[in-house]
Amino acid sequence: MVRVMALTAHMVTIDCADPKNLAGFWSEALGYVQVADLGGYLILRPADGSPGGLTVSLQEVPEPRVGKNRVHLDLEATDRAAEVARLVDLGAVTVREHTYSGYAWTVLEDPEGNVFCVSGPPAPTDVSGPTVSDPAVAG
């Protein structure tokens, strides 16, 4: 039996050197607006004010990112190639492309080098095979 949890994921925080600058990128990328400025900590929510969804916060930190992010956003698009092109136009950098068992995604970095991924709609999966969380293929 699966235990019902009292926790809900509602916000992801991205560490960065310049939250105000990075807010422009993420607001345009996600269709979000800034709803709070707490000094070195900005909060972004969907522009349409819809409840639910994921809140994104940008937190100023003094040190630069070193190595791979320990957590990153995985975004889904109906037209992955068009969204990747749009994100690159906004300032993202394409790092690499992955295709595995009919599932494709693009690894990108935001203007401060924070890694995130964009995939297309989920492909039918064969639950008997490896998954995209396999360290040999994960973004």
In angstroms, what is the C-alpha Rg of the chain? 16
pLDDT given for residue 6 in this prediction = 81
Domains defined along the chain, listed by start: 1-64 (3.30.720.120), 65-139 (3.10.180.10)
Nearest C-alpha neighbor of 45 from the set 86, 88, 80, 10 = 10
The span from the CA of 74 to the CA of 121, in Å, is 12
Q: Where are the alpha helices (DSSP H) in 9-133?
A: 19-30, 80-90
pLDDT given for residue 69 in this prediction = 81
The span from the CA of 53 to the CA of 73, in Å, is 13
Taking the mean position of all CA atoms in its chain, how far away is CA 122? 16
The span from the CA of 5 to the CA of 50, in Å, is 24
**pLDDT digits 0-9 by tens, 50-107:** 877 899 999 999 988 888 888 899 999 999 999 999 999 999 999 999 998 888 999 9
What is the sign, positive or negative, of the torsion defined by CA atoms of 94, 98, 102, 105? negative
Q: Note the pTM of the prediction, 2 decimals.
A: 0.81
Whether 93 contacts 45, CB under 8 Å: no
Q: Give the E-state strand segments of 39-92 in sequence order.
A: 41-46, 55-60, 73-76
